[in-house]
Structure 1
Amino acid sequence: MKASWEKTEKNQGTLTVETDEETVAKALDQAFKKVVKKVNVPGFRKGKVPRRIFEQRFGVEALYQDALDIMLPEAYQAAVEETGIEPVDRPEIDIEQLEKGKSLIFKATVTVKPEVTLGEYKGLEVPEKDFSVSQEDVDAELSKMQKQQGQLESVEDGEVEKGDRVIIDFEGFIDGNPFEGGKAEQYNLEVGSGSFIPGFEDQLVGMKPGEEKDVEVTFPEDYHVKELAGKPATFKVKLHEIKRVNLPELDDEFAQDVSEFDTLAELKEDIEKKLREKAEKDKENYIRNQLVELAAENSEVEIPAVMIDHEVEHMLRQFEQQLSYQGLNLELYAQFTGQDQEALKEQFRADAEKKVRANLVLEGIAKAENVEVTEEEINQEIKQMAEQMNRDEEEVRRLLEAQGALKSVKEQLITKKTIDLLVLSSKNAA
């Protein structure tokens, strides 16, 4: 096989590939064995038509597409490895020659990983940030624990307050006409959660059980349902029930219920200790992230749009998975917030570009500094993964190999060591 690479634009070029005649012959043989099983020719049982008869009747060209499907993936991958390019998207293939008895020649227009011009990445300094733990932080954490232990109780004689859970019926109208998706009965809503259209939940405050009210709101201009976007609406709301959290007293008995400590003072001391430990980790992560950002800002790289698109899609899938843990999906999220997939993608785009840029710059630094990981370091990482998953080390290794993820483990370790290098060479390390 022959392969050559010619750069035509900054991040794009043409990969020209020529296989040998034998490769084409073998692919045509495989294609025939596949196609002949489906062909009906009078006088022959299905799958038993001779190759000569098949080509006389249908022409050898009938095998070309299947032969291409067999040859192209392997030939393209081999050419990529031979030329050393790093594609970041599917290629556009143009077949220049495909004939029986001749070689296959094709050209692939390929978008490749961009080159990075590194700027200053050693001796950087991250601005100071306060990571101290205050008494207010301890009290806030204690308050969170208190709320977690609270019991929801019905409020028989009272009014809706922010933070209450309410059971409501509602139906929405625009210009006096009901609209699709604007009606629900016995709906459970936390007032102040921001789940509904801006202004809706605020107008529930002060209502009493059994009360009915018209809630006037305006759909956001970027609402996912175009027919509703920017339009004023009236929701007829009936409040059935108010539920409010009854909080336990913060005393020694509370401490004994939620922890292994006998007194509230001991619990507070433990909370402060854990918050300080977390603050140290947060500070370390802050410095590491900021150094990567500074190094990325100092460098020059022209990122292909497709790389950002791929990262946006990845972020969307991660977000969808997080929603699933809450019993939601993207469709329900869109109904609650007015943000559809396209709006979410646009929201993710800036962070996606930032992440892609950072990763490219870190790869560039790793190459410039010859950052490598040893087999021992990879083994240690797999061991830690196995401990976290509570699984056998060899089982985890086999799983990673089966998923083709060992390369990813190595890349992550190189990234970590590269950031370690930035930290050790920074002014913050002094």
Structure 2
Amino acid sequence: MEVKMEKIETNVVKFEVKVEAEKFNNALNKAYKKNVSKFSVPGFRKGKVPMNMVKQYYGVGVLLEDAVNFVIDETYPVALKDNDIRPVDYPEIDVIEVGEGKDLVYTAKVTVYPEVELGKYKAVEAKKVAYEVSEEEVEKQLKSMQEKNARVETKTEGTVENGNIAVIDFKGYIDGVAFEGGEGTDYSLEIGSGSFIDNFEDQLVGAAVGDKKEINVTFPENYGREEFNGKPATFEVTVKEIKVKELPVLDDEFAKEVSEFDTIEEVKEDIKKKAQESNDVRAKREFEEAVINLVVNNAKVEVPEVMINKEVEAMVKDLENRLSYQGLNLAQYYEFTGSSEDKMKTFMKERAEIKVKTDLVLEKIAKVENIDATEEELKTKAAEIAKMYSSADDSEKMAELILKAQESIIRTEVVTENTVKFLVENTKVIE
């Protein structure tokens, strides 16, 4: 086999492969054996027609396509390996010369992984922000705990006030026509929560049980559904019940009821501790992202369009999977957001290009710095994944199965994590 390779444009190479006539004739025999059961020639049982009779009766052309495919399947991967080429898509094949007793000549044009030219990636300078927990944050969490444990009772007298819960029936109209999703029965609306658009809730203040009100609002310009954006709407509302919330006192008794602590001060300290842990994780993640962005921006790489498009498709698939867990599909998502497949893919494209470039740069750094994953790290990562899908009793066995089935994927993930860790350790921190 003879192979000539040339770079015809950025990230695109073209092979010319010449395969010896003897090898192509062997492929013709293989094609004959594959298809012999399909041939029918007078005087021969089906499946027993000799090859020379097949060629005489049908012509050798009936075998050429399969023979060519057999040869390409065998020789194309060898051409890639011998020339250290990593394709990112299927090749565009052209057969130049083919025939029984002749050398097979074909060309393969293929997009390849781009060359990455690293810039400065060690000793870059990045800011690290420390997020402290404020007393306001602690009080906000306490307030949330208080709200969750509030008692709700029916208000027997008076009218709707801010903070009350109004139980309502409602029906919405745009241009006098009722619209889908604009109707509710026995809906509990907390006045002042901002759950409904515009000043809907404010217009219920002062209403009594049994009152029927006409409420006029305007949808926001960026509401998310094109037919609603910026449109005025009218709601017919009936107040059926008014409820009030009685908040528990934030004292030691409350602490004992809702937590494992004996005092409200211990609850506050626990809230503060957990919030600080969350803040530290956030600061760590943001610092890592800042370092990665610096390193990627310092590198030069032309990302092939096909790689970007593949990443977009992966993003769409990921979104589709997440929607399915909520009982939704893409069509419903497009309708709800006022979007479309083309609009969403255009929106995703920039993010996809950054993701692909980042992966390429981190992969290059890992190669240059000989960063790999140890067997222990692979087992640990597999165990982390197993915990999400199995009970404690089955997790060890599940981890073994996951590692066996997805070792290359897990290795890539661990190597990426180790590479990011390497970059962070070699970054000058600006507090």
Task: Decide: shared fold, TM above 0.5.
Answer: yes
Residue 410 (structure 1) aligns with? 411
Answer yes or no: is the 8 Å Cα contact 1:31–1:67 preserved in 2. Answer: yes
| Structure-2 separation of matches of 1:166 and 1:414 | 56
Residues 21-420 of structure 1 mapped to structure 2, 5 A cutoff: 21=21, 24-25=24-25, 27-38=27-38, 47=47, 49-146=49-146, 158=160, 168-170=170-172, 172=174, 185-186=183-184, 201-202=197-198, 204-205=200-201, 206=203, 210-212=212-214, 237-239=235-237, 246=245, 248-249=247-248, 250-252=250-252, 254-387=254-387, 389=389, 390=392, 391-393=394-396, 395-402=398-405, 405-420=406-421
Q: Give the deviation of 1:258 after TM superposition.
A: 4.1
Classify the secondary structure of the residue corresponding to 2:315: helix
- Measure the CA separation in 2 of the matches of 1:16 and 1:163: 76
Q: Please, which moves more after superposition, 243-252 or 53-62?
A: 243-252
Quick check: 1:30–1:67 contact (8 Å CA) kept in 2?
A: yes
Q: Against the structure 1 CA distance between its residues 60 and 276, is the aligned structure 2 distance closer, same or farther, given a 3 Å change threshold? A: same
Contact 2:379 2:399 in 1 (8 A): no
Question: Structure 1 pair 164/342, CA: closer, same or farther in 2 (3 Å)?
Answer: farther
Distance 1:22 1:217 in 2: 75
Bigger Cα displacement from structure 2, 5-14 vs 103-112: 103-112
Assess if the C-alpha contact under 8 Å between 2:124 and 2:427 holds in 1: yes
Deviations 1:115-138 (A, max 9, x none): 111111111121242411112222
Normalising by structure 1, we get a TM-score of 0.78
Cα distance change on mapping 1:295 and 1:264 into 2, 3 Å: same
Deviations 1:300-352 (A, max 9, x none): 11111222222222222222222223332222222222122222222222222
Return 61-70 or 133-142, whichever deviates more.
61-70
Decide whether aligned partners of structure 1 residues 135 and 213 sit closer, same or farther in structure 2, where only a CA change above 3 A counts: closer
**Paired residues, number:** 416
Tell me if structure 1 keeps the 8 A contact 2:163–2:244. no
In structure 1, what is the equivalent of residue 6 of structure 2?
Answer: 6
- 1:425 aligned partner: 426
Pair 55,186 (structure 1): closer, same or farther in 2 beyond 3 Å: farther
The structure-2 alpha-carbon separation of the partners of 1:164 and 1:12, relative to structure 1 and needing over 3 Å to count, comes to farther
* TM-fit CA distance, 1:233: 5.5
Moved more, 384-393 or 181-190: 181-190
Once the two structures are overlaid, the 10-residue window that deviates more, 419-428 or 206-215, is 206-215
- 2: distance between equivalents of 1:27 and 1:190? 74
- How far apart, CA to CA, are the structure 1 residues paired with 2:154 and 2:30? 72
Is the contact between residue 160 and residue 204 of structure 1 (CA under 8 Å) also seen in structure 2?
Answer: no
Separation in 2, partners of 1:425, 1:17? 46
**Counterpart amino acid of residue 292 in structure 1:** I
Letter aligned with residue 367 of structure 2: K
Deviations along 1:343-370, one digit per CA (max 9) or x if unpaired, are 2222222222222222221122222222
In structure 2, C-alpha distance between the alignment counterparts of 1:410 and 1:306, rounded to whole Å: 24
Q: CA RMSD in A?
A: 4.1
Shift of 1:296: 1.0
Task: Provide the rounded CA distance (Å) in 2 between the counterparts of 1:155 and 1:79.
Answer: 81
Q: Check conservation: 1:91, 1:109, Cα contact below 8 A.
A: yes
SS of residue matched to 1:118? coil
Given residue 396 of structure 1, which amino acid in structure 2 is its aligned partner? A
Partner amino acid, structure 1, of 2:14: T
Cα offset, 1:298, TM superposition: 1.3
How far has the Cα of 1:416 moved from its partner? 1.7
Give yes or no for contact 2:224–2:336 (8 Å, CA) kept in 1.
no
- Please give the alpha-carbon distance, in whole angstroms, between the structure 1 residues aligned to 2:98 and 2:188: 64
Is the alpha carbon distance of 1:73 and 1:395 closer, same or farther for their aligned partners in structure 2, counting shifts above 3 Å? farther
Task: Report the more deviating stretch, 74-83 or 206-215.
Answer: 206-215
| CA positional deviation for 1:194 | 11
Contact 2:379 / 2:403 at 8 angstroms: preserved in 1?
Answer: no
Partner-residue secondary structure (3-state), 1:201: coil
How much has 1:143 moved relative to structure 2?
4.0
Q: What CA distance in whole angstroms lies between the structure 2 residues aligned with 1:370 and 1:275? A: 37
For residues 238 and 119 of structure 1, the distance between their equivalents in structure 2, rounded to whole angstroms, comes to 63
Give the direction of change, closer, same or farther, for the CA distance of 1:397–1:72 in structure 2 (3 Å limit). farther
* 148 and 4 in structure 1: CA distance in 2 versus 1, 3 angstrom threshold: farther
- Distance in 2, matches of 1:153 and 1:73, equals 75
Moved more, 72-81 or 352-361: 72-81
CA distance in 1, matches of 2:237, 2:284: 49
